[in-house]
């Protein structure tokens, strides 16, 4: 099994300003040494390390970790869309085979149309020339612009993080459901079954709360475009690593062995261009 979405950091309050007073459990170092025992306990053999800071050195930090831990199968770095030397940065970083893609924090932008803005679209367009993927970090109001972005770049591989962050805590389905079904009609879009417990009630969620949202994703994307991810250590705001992974796997139990294999490993390999040893 591959965990398609997790983070590493050496904590300081300057680089991680997004951690507010409710996130004290995150305000400590979270490195490979803390993650490896969790992998062993859950049957995870590899992971995708995703950026957690909006700074260029974040990508280099994760690539360095990948060079020292072979089970880090890929890195998703931070995309600085406004950098004048962006093409040169991408050329340098893409020389490292551990680099698989990039993301920008679209869901934090004040403009819900940011995904389809010229500066963002032009930056993402550069990734396609290097066969790099792009993670879409969205909330429901941002999905329509993301659909327009995807339509403008039909050959680019896109991966939706955290199933588009529906309001699981309140049980809302719309407009998230309609938007995700529409987005999934684009065959170059994949989706991560990740980040759900922190959209649910942190103190009272249960696996049954997640199941209706997972079922929508299965209906929309099918098993061959879905991948499992933990969002560790952010997930620990609401649950243990084991509880998060087991909750998702519980919802996948009715699927065929082949379908579960896609979601737990094969889709991640396809989307991020990870070869088997």
- Please report, for the domain that includes residue 102, its CATH number: 3.20.20.140
With respect to residue 146, please indicate whether it lies within any of the assigned structural domains: yes
Residue 186 has pLDDT above 80, yes or no: yes
Q: Is 69 helix (H, G, I), strand (E, B) or coil?
A: coil
The angle formed by the CA atoms of residues 181, 162 and 205, to the nearest 5 degrees, is 105
With respect to residue 277, please indicate whether it lies within any of the assigned structural domains: no
Chain centre to alpha carbon of residue 71: 17
Domain span at residue 9 reads: 2-272
Q: Is 203 in contact with 211 (CB distance < 8 Å)?
A: no
What total of structural domains would you count in the chain? 1
Note the pLDDT tens digit of each residue in 200-210: 999 999 999 99
Q: Is 206 in contact with 243 (CB distance < 8 Å)?
A: no
With respect to residue 16, please indicate whether it lies within any of the assigned structural domains: yes
With respect to residue 186, please indicate whether it lies within any of the assigned structural domains: yes
The mean pLDDT value for 31-41 works out to 98
Q: Is 242 helix (H, G, I), strand (E, B) or coil?
A: helix
Residue 53 has pLDDT above 80, yes or no: yes
% residues pLDDT > 70 (the chain): 100
Q: Helices marked H in 153-240 — which ranges?
A: 176-184, 207-221
């Amino acid at each position: 099994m591959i965990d398609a979405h997790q983070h590493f950091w050496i904590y300081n309050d300057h680089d991680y300003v997004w951690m507010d007073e409710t996130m004290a459990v995150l305000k400590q170092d979270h490195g490979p040494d803390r993650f490896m025992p969790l992998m062993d306990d859950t049957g995870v053999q590899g992971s995708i390390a995703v950026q957690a800071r909006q700074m260029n050195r974040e990508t280099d930090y994760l690539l360095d970790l990948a060079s020292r831990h072979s089970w880090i199968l890929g890195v998703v770095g931070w995309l600085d869309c406004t950098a004048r030397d962006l093409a040169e940065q991408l050329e340098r970083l893409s020389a490292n085979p551990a680099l698989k893609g990039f993301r920008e924090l679209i869901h934090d932008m004040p403009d819900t149309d940011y995904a389809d803005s010229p500066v963002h679209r032009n930056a993402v367009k550069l990734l396609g020339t290097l066969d790099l993927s792009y993670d879409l970090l969205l909330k429901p109001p941002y999905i329509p612009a993301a659909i327009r972005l995807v339509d403008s770049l039909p050959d680019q591989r896109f991966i939706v993080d955290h199933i588009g962050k529906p309001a699981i805590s309140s049980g809302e389905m719309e407009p998230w459901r309609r938007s995700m079904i529409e987005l999934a009609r684009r065959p170059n879009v994949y989706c991560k079954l990740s980040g759900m417990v922190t959209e649910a009630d942190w103190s009272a969620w249960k696996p049954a709360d997640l199941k209706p949202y997972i079922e929508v994703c299965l209906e929309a994307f099918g098993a061959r475009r879905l991948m499992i991810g933990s969002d560790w250590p952010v997930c620990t705001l609401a649950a243990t690593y084991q509880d998060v992974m087991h909750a998702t796997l519980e919802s996948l139990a009715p699927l065929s062995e082949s379908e579960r294999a896609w979601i737990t490993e094969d889709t991640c390999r396809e989307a991020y261009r990870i070869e088997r040893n």
